[in-house]
């Protein structure tokens, strides 16, 4: 008789929830992974032209402006998207308790991480807040479904 009550079903779901890996269950999805890549590449490196610490990576020289026939302007900050290969190589992996962002930094015999630091990967405070706002929605949906979907 008790097994047919909402309280029993809720308690049963709660026991299953205790065994779940909520972090991975909630964040390991295409939307969140794509959002992280978008915020890191298009927004941060592309529009803001900063690394995860908010620092500029460098500025194009007059020689670069001449070589690129004005495509890159002198004094304009780097965005690390000359050919698109670097940006296209970004990958996000969600593990048990962390999110790992990786990319192939090898370019023309040089390593972009050696040149610009590992902080080109990762979100600055503004973009991290955008991610947190989106992730919060996923957590709420997860809890509602997991605990109350019976």
pLDDT tens for 80-116 read 998 899 999 999 999 988 999 999 999 989 999 999 9
Question: Closest by alpha carbon to 136, among 27, 25, 11?
Answer: 27
pLDDT at residue 18, rounded to an integer? 60
For position 142, what pLDDT does the model report? 86
State the pTM of this model: 0.83
pLDDT for the residue numbered 143 = 81
pLDDT of the residue at 6:
72
pLDDT of residue 19: 58
| pLDDT at residue number 88 | 96
Residues 6+ apart with CB under 8 A from 41: 81, 87, 90
Q: Cite the DSSP H helix spans in the chain.
A: 6-18, 22-27, 30-38, 62-67, 85-88, 112-116, 125-148
- Given a cut of 50, the residues of the chain with pLDDT beneath it are none
User: What's the pLDDT at 128?
Assistant: 96
Element (H, E) at 120: none
Integer angstrom CA distances of residue 73 from 28, 45, 60, 64, 69 = 39, 16, 6, 8, 9
Q: What is the pLDDT of residue 99?
A: 95
């Amino acid at each position: 008789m008790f097994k047919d009550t909402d309280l029993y079903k809720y308690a049963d779901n709660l026991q299953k929830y205790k065994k779940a890996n909520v972090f991975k269950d909630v964040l390991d999805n295409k939307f969140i992974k794509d959002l992280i890549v978008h915020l890191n590449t298009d927004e941060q490196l592309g529009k803001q032209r900063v690394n995860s610490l908010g620092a500029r990576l460098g500025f194009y020289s007059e020689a670069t402006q001449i070589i690129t026939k004005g495509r890159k302007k002198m004094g304009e900050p780097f965005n690390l998207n000359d050919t698109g290969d670097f940006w296209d190589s970004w990958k996000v992996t969600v593990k048990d308790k962390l999110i790992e962002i990786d990319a192939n930094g090898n370019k023309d015999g040089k390593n972009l991480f050696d040149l610009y630091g590992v902080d080109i990967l990762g979100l600055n405070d503004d973009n991290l807040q955008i991610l947190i706002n989106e992730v919060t929605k996923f957590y709420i949906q997860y809890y509602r479904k997991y605990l109350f979907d019976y």
